[in-house]
Amino acid sequence: MKSCLAFFLILLWLAVSCGNLDEDLAMQELKQAEYSRKADPEKFIRWFNHKNGNIRLKAVETLGKIQDSTQAVLLANRLTDEDPAVRAAAAFALGQLFSPVAENYLADALRVETDKSIRLKIIDAYGKTGTGKNLNPLRDFSDSGDKDYLRSFALAYGMLAYRGYPPLQLYPSMERLLLLTDDPELSWRLAYAVYRIRGLGTFEFLAKSLEKEDPRARYFALKGLVDIDALMKSPEFVPLRTQPEYRQLWNKYQSRDFRRRITAQLQDSTWYVRIAALDLVGKMEDPNFQGEIVKLLDDPHPNVRIQAIQSLASYKNWYTRREMRRIYQESPDWRLRGEALAVLTLVQPEEALKIVKDDLLQQPWPQNYYAIKTLENIEAFDQQKPPKETDEATTLLMQLSQGNNPAQRTLAVEVLVNRSKPPSLEFFLEALKSGDLAVATIVSNYLSLIKSPVTVQAVQPLIDAYRKFSAPRDLEAMEPIIVALDSIGSEEALPFLREELRNPYPGIREKARRALQHITGVADIEMPPVQSAYAVRWDFPPLSLDSLYQVTFQTSAGEFTMELNPEKAPINTANIVSLVKQNFYNGISFHRVVPGFVVQVGDPRGDGWGGPGYSVLCEYNDLPYERGTVGMALAGKDTGGSQFFVAHTPQPQLNGRYTVIGQVISGMETIDRLMMFDHIEQAKLSVRAKTQPLAANR
């Protein structure tokens, strides 16, 4: 009897061991599939039908990260999985396809799914993939009366509108909800959704949203009204003003009541609402607003002051000239002085050019950033009749484009390609020889737009420049080079383009295929097998899920702390920790500040084109972009490195498109006040067990 029991226990142990071994092997293979971005349909079918729920879950998550829309049916089959976690993951993964191929699958699943949390994920995915052909899912949510469902309905509506599929049949539901709701989370989502429609018919809705208590609702309403202003001034709208329906709309837009409501937003207690209001009144170009704008030149918030300066650019008169001179002469901040000089150029180009030559050309980067922006604006003084200083400004820009600082060179070249009389082709081909990623991208985009036989001279220089780059790190330059070769259309590029059909990166392969079709006139281009693998890093020391990882950044504007989320983004957070331990971020400037949207940092070049010298995989996850959310900056899939950004306000259009790595947990007031060229003085990592006090590691 004892021997039989022992034999049974051995069999049981073997069965458990074999099961564990099977799971371990499957997990390893799935990790390899995720990292290589290759989906073997036969293996995924086996994993999707495995009796082990952990394997099914990991398989669904992996295919969602690979984002192969040809495998949508495999994901759709998991929408009825017995495991709720698998069903939820399948809904998110289908949304990550960002393709209408998932629309009907999601609509069908919503009819049978009863789990509320999964239904919410399905409607979120529908917003990212739907086309409005099947509105029953949205209609059911809009009539539910449930706060969670209503919020999801509004956000899905907004995402459909953002993608160009506004479900206008349900617009009355949006209007009804706006009138009835006292939920701040719903009100900002409604305002965001209607802002994304970008239609004249949304004017009343957006104007009413200005009355909402939540500043996010007012902010998105003002963003929508900026679009309304542009539509009102469009050539298409002008002849419609005589029609009764549009005349009434035009009169409301021009009314004193509406102007008073906008003026009130300029005094809003929330800084990013004031910025959005300033942006709007600048574009409205109503002389009655100029005095109100001038008042905000002394606003306590630095980014509001900058926006006030920029909004005065629409008012080219003595008042603006006086205020810009005052700021340039009196402001202690060189960035405010630079912004004022750039606007002064639009009123007094001769005076601004003299200041550039006397004061700014001798300054190092980034102080001479405003020399370039001022020289750019000299031509903008009068597009029809550029001032006599334009040619001299172009010559100075050419000199600046040959400086030693890469950020300075990049900005100067970017301005030069947009001149009405740009430098010669030879100038830009010489610039290509620098091997600079940014310069190559800008010049390639420029060459794509030139319709001249002389561009055939650029074929070999473009190919030579391309061979200096490596994907995915340099995809931002490599893809435009292929597009430029396609535009030039020379047979000289054919051997090179055929080589790139074997590139492991789908974007490059597809652009090379299209170029070959265009140049050869052959529609059916045979795609050879890919010969190399993805060149991305995932070999960072893993972070423990039992610990909290917080990074405190001491900046020139104050301090903020972000908490990383290794559970959702293990590779990207481990990469950030590795960089912090190397003191990588110390001394790096915030090269991108879009008030109300994001601040961005992490480029040692200082202009957004640099990184650590390698790329990491995207780890798209279901964390939304809310105020304070931290995400990895990209120039295409799997091109992240060291740059990250922090959101000032909710940004649903970023959800699932940029890897969320964490959240700012303290110091958002510092994030709010950051200006371009503020810098990180020191980054310090702290790690503790989730049940222990925080302890600094460095």
DSSP of 596-629, one letter per residue? TTEEEE--TTSSSS--SSS-B-----S----TTE
Confidence of residue 387 (pLDDT cuts 50, 70, 90): confident
Question: pLDDT tier at 381 (50, 70, 90 boundaries)?
Answer: low
Per-residue pLDDT for 694 more than 60? Answer: no
The β-bridge partners of 616 are: 537, 640
Question: What is the average per-residue pLDDT within 662-666?
Answer: 99
What pLDDT does 9 receive?
A: 47
User: Lowest-confidence range among 13-17, 528-532, 570-574, 623-627?
Assistant: 13-17
Q: Is the pTM of this model over 0.85?
A: yes
The better pLDDT of the pair 557, 8 is held by 557
Residue 380 has pLDDT above 80, yes or no: no
- At 689 the three-state DSSP class reads strand
Separation CA 234–CA 247 (nearest Å): 15
Cβ-based burial of 584 (10 A; exposed 0-12, middle 13-18, buried ≥19) = middle
What confidence score (pLDDT) does residue 388 get? Answer: 85
Nearest CA among 197, 312, 222 for reference residue 272: 222
What's residue 497's pLDDT? 98
**For residues 375 and 397, is the Cβ–Cβ distance under 8 A?**
yes
| Total Cβ atoms within 10 A of residue 359 | 16
Torsion (CA) 274, 276, 278, 283 in degrees, nearest 10: -170
pLDDT at position 12: 46
Amino acid letter at 266?
L
Nearest CA among 352, 647, 657, 637 for reference residue 507:
637
The Cα angle at residue 524 between residues 518 and 526, in degrees rounded to 5: 105
Residue pointed to by tokens 């309403």 = 221
> Is 684 within 8 Å of 552 (Cβ atoms)?
yes
Q: In whole angstroms, what is the distance from residue 196 CA to residue 191 CA?
A: 9
Has residue 16 got a pLDDT over 50? no
Phi-psi region of 247 (alpha: psi -120 to 50; beta: other; left: phi over 0): alpha
Which strands sit side by side in the sheet containing 558-564, from one edge to the other? 590-594, 598-601, 644-647, 629-632, 660-666, 558-564, 547-555, 680-689, 695-696
Give the count of alpha carbons within 13 A of 530, CB side only.
13
As given in the structure block, the two tokens for residue 568 are 């959702």
Return d(Cα 628, Cα 561) in angstroms, integer. Answer: 10
Q: Express each pLDDT in 626-653 by its tens digit.
A: 999 999 999 999 999 999 999 999 999 9
pLDDT at site 6: 53
CB 143 within 8 A of CB 173: yes
Q: Over the stretch 468-488, which tens digit does the pLDDT of each residue have?
A: 999 888 999 999 999 999 999
Mean local confidence (pLDDT), 315-326: 98
- CA gyration radius, the chain: 28
| Short-list 436, 429, 446, CA closest to 480 | 446
Contacts of residue 266, defined as CB under 8 A and 6 or more positions apart, other chains included, come to 274, 277, 278, 281, 292, 293, 295, 296
Q: What is the mean pLDDT of residues 489-512?
A: 95
Q: How confident is the model at residue 15 (pLDDT cuts 50, 70, 90)?
A: very low
Residue 132: pLDDT band (50, 70, 90) is confident
The yes-or-no verdict on residue 588 having pLDDT over 60 is yes
Distance, in Å, from the CA atom of 183 to the CA atom of 555, rounded to the nearest integer, reads: 36
Q: Which residue has the higher pLDDT, 23 or 591?
A: 591
Cα gap 267→177, rounded to integer Å: 27
Q: With 0-12 CB in 10 A as exposed, 13-18 as middle and 19+ as buried, what is 237?
A: middle
- Contacts of 513-522 with C-beta under 8 Å, sequence gap 24+, read 514/486, 515/482, 515/483, 515/485, 515/486, 518/486, 518/489, 519/486, 519/489, 519/490, 519/491, 519/493, 519/494, 520/494
Nearest to 471 by CA among 479, 463, 480, 460: 479
Taking CA atoms, 339 is separated from 149, 207, 249, 345, in Å, by: 45, 31, 35, 10
Burial 442-460 (b: 16+ CB within 10 A, else e): bbbbbbbebeeeebeebbe
Both tokens of residue 138?
Answer: 């949205």
Q: How many CB atoms lie within 10 A of CB 380?
A: 14
Residue 10 has pLDDT above 90, yes or no: no
Q: With bands split at pLDDT 50, 70 and 90, how would you rate the model's confidence at 238?
A: confident
Phi-psi region of 613 (alpha: psi -120 to 50; beta: other; left: phi over 0): left
Tell how far CA 401 is from the center of its chain: 27
| 613, 584 Cβ separation under 8 angstroms | no
Q: Which two tokens stand for residue 77?
A: 């089959």
Higher pLDDT among residues 95 and 534, named by residue: 95
Looking at residue 377, the DSSP 8-state letter turns out to be: H
Pairing of strands 660-666, 644-647: unpaired
CB 345 within 8 A of CB 387: no
Name the amino acid, one letter, at 215.
P
Residue with tokens 């993805």: 534
Catalogue all structural domains in the chain, each as residue range(s) with its CATH number: 424-535 (1.25.10.10), 547-696 (2.40.100.10)
Alpha carbon distance 632, 660 (integer Å) = 7
Render pLDDT for 410-423 as a digit per residue (tens, 0 to 9).
999 999 999 999 99
**pLDDT 10s digits, 421-431:** 999 999 999 99
Helix (DSSP H) and strand (DSSP E) numbers for the chain: 32, 9
User: Which is nearest to 200 in space by CA: 250, 163, 244, 162?
Assistant: 250
3-state helix, strand, coil in the chain (%, to 5): 60, 10, 30
Paired tokens of 385: 């009749």
Q: Which residues contact 6 (CB under 8 A, 6 or more apart)?
A: none
Which SS3 state, helix, strand or coil, does residue 537 take? strand
Report the mean per-residue pLDDT for the chain.
Answer: 94
Is pLDDT of 110 > 70?
yes
Question: CB 67: neighbour CB atoms within 10 A?
Answer: 19
Q: Rounded to an integer, what distance in angstroms lies between the CA atom of residue 3 and that of residue 676?
A: 77
Residue in this structure with the two tokens 């709010």, named with its chain if needed: 672
Phi (first) and psi of residue 553, to 5 degrees: -105, 115
How confident is the model at residue 530, as a pLDDT? 83
Tokens 């192969």 sit at which residue? Answer: 68
CA distance 607 to 411: 8
- pLDDT tens for residues 182-220? 999 999 999 999 999 999 999 999 999 999 999 999 999
pLDDT on residue 17: 46
Would you say residue 355 has pLDDT above 80?
A: yes
Task: Give a three-class secondary structure readout of 550-573.
Answer: EEEEEECCEEEEEEECCCCCHHHH
